[in-house]
Structure formats: structure tokens, C-alpha cells
Chains A and B, each alone.
Chain A
């Protein structure tokens, strides 16, 4: 068995003691919070009518705290840029996936895409939304990559990049247009809120799913023009 922890020194016990103090302190802080508090849920419930959706979590994510989601799309893109700048896609091993995985992936990938679409649509009134749908789409991409599928060189150039920035791009465009018509950034007019949020969520779902699958690929895909 490999040795995980280095030889125990006095510093090790000092570390354990310090971390115990930290844990007790954090636990005390948690326990000293009031046992019952409405938090921000009252604000959300009061304003849910103007948000365009009836699911409070989606209302917070896309409307009340849209900044968070906007910047989070940026973080996803930055992480992918970091991975792409570190390495290229490793050489593909030509191992065949085996009949079970092969059949299963053919059955599951269309089903996963369908589930992603459903989650995106149902997010307006029930648990679901862009992130869940994006994660399911990403899982479909990971499954395809595991089976040995690689995007065609024609697709991995501009089309892939456009899909990756589409979520952030749509978000920023909607925000900018709202500023131009005299509202604040991401302050949706209530009659159009539902449609605008669905538009942003649809673009974000595609971007999140493709980004997660591209992260799993582990590097920049080869392009035809570079050969």
C-alpha cells in the first residue's frame, strides 16, 4: 500500500489541533445562527410575479441575481480557455468500446438530449433550468467521447467556438439591448421577461453542455487549418 500521509511529526499534531479549533469555531458559528429566519425568501415571493417564471430558483438565477449567472458563464469560458492553452487533445486510442457501451450510447444520447430539452422548458415552473439541462447535455457529450466519438475537424473550428460563447454572448447582448432601451443591465421588462429568460437559458444550456464536454476532452481539438 502506498504511503499517503508523510511521517508524523510534531507539526502534524499541531495541524490536527489547529484544524479541530477551526472546526469547533465554524460549528459554533453555525449553531449560533437563528433557528428560523425567512432569509431572502420573502423578497423573492413578493416579486415572483414580475420575474416571468414561477420557479423561485430560476427567478433568482436568471432575473434577480442575473449577474451571478452572467459572470458564471464567463468563469466556464475562462476555465475552458485555460485547459485549451495548456494542452491539445491527447492522441485518440483506437480501442473499440464494446457492444454494450456502443448500443447503450446510441440509445442514451438521444434520450439525454430530450431530457435536457424538457429540463430547460420545465425550469420556468418546477425544478430544472439551464444548469441542470446543460449538465445532462454535458453528460451526453461525455458519453459520446467515452465511446470514442470525436468532433469532425470541420466542426471543431469556428462552429464549436461560436457554440461555446453563445451563452455568454446572448446574455451580454440582452443586457446591452436593455441598456439601450433605457433600462438597467438585465432589468427585463415584465411582459417580455419570460421570453428573454427562455432565450438566454436556451443559449446557456447549449454552451454549458458543450463546454463541459469540451473540458472532458482535456485540450484544444485539432483544426483542419493547422495541418
Chain B
């Protein structure tokens, strides 16, 4: 196993950790951070898999997609934070209401 797959597996791990936090934590800021960690995992997978070319130069297409994705992720995070602040202004707290299944 070479380093390309090591990086890609770390990306998969980050994605899963982010998904776990997204589901478990009720606080909206933690959810936003979790989505960012998930996104970083996806970017890591894409960049790593772009390095599987035979030569020294990696595949530029996934790299270009990641550059685009980072800017989109930043702007989506800003929108999510603005939504969170609005939720806090309306309800006085930045958590989702707790609903127990039992």
C-alpha cells in the first residue's frame, strides 16, 4: 500500500468522524464544524486519488475541483454561520431542541 491510499483512507476517516459528530451533537456550531471536517475528508480523498498518475505530475482535474470546492465550502460555512446567528437571535439559543426517542 503506498502513500496515496494512506491519505485517501485518512480522508475517509475524517469524513466518517465528521458524520458522527454531525449526527450526535445538537449544537449548531458543532454541526457546522462537523460538515467542514467532512468536506476536508472529501478534498483529501480527491487530492490523494489525483496522485495515482504514472508520472511525477498529478492529475490536475481533481485538484482544480478541490480548489473550487474549498471556496464553495468557505462561502457555505459563512452562510451557515449567519443562519446560526439568526436562529440564536430568534430563539435565544444555538442548539436544536432535544427530542428523546424513548
| A positions within 8 Å CB-CB of B | 4-6, 9, 11-12, 15-16, 19-20, 22-23, 26-27, 30-31, 33-41, 44-45, 56-57, 59-61, 64-65, 68-69, 72, 75-76, 79-80, 82-83, 86-87, 129, 131-132, 134-135, 208, 211-212, 215-216, 218-219
Contact = CB atoms under 8 A, between A and B. Distances in A.
Contacts of B53: 36-39, 41
Contacts, number: 145
20 contacts: A4-B30, A5-B24, A9-B101, A15-B23, A30-B45, A31-B1, A34-B52, A36-B52, A37-B53, A39-B61, A44-B60, A57-B64, A60-B64, A65-B65, A68-B65, A72-B71, A79-B76, A132-B67, A212-B75, A215-B78
Interface in B51-89: 52-55, 57-65, 67-68, 70-72, 74-76, 78-79, 81-83, 85-86, 89
Q: How large is the interface on B (under 10, 10 to 19, 20 to 34, 35 or more residues)?
A: 35 or more
Given A30-B45, A35-B4, A65-B61, 8 more contacts: A30-B8, A36-B53, A36-B54, A38-B53, A38-B54, A57-B67, A215-B75, A218-B81
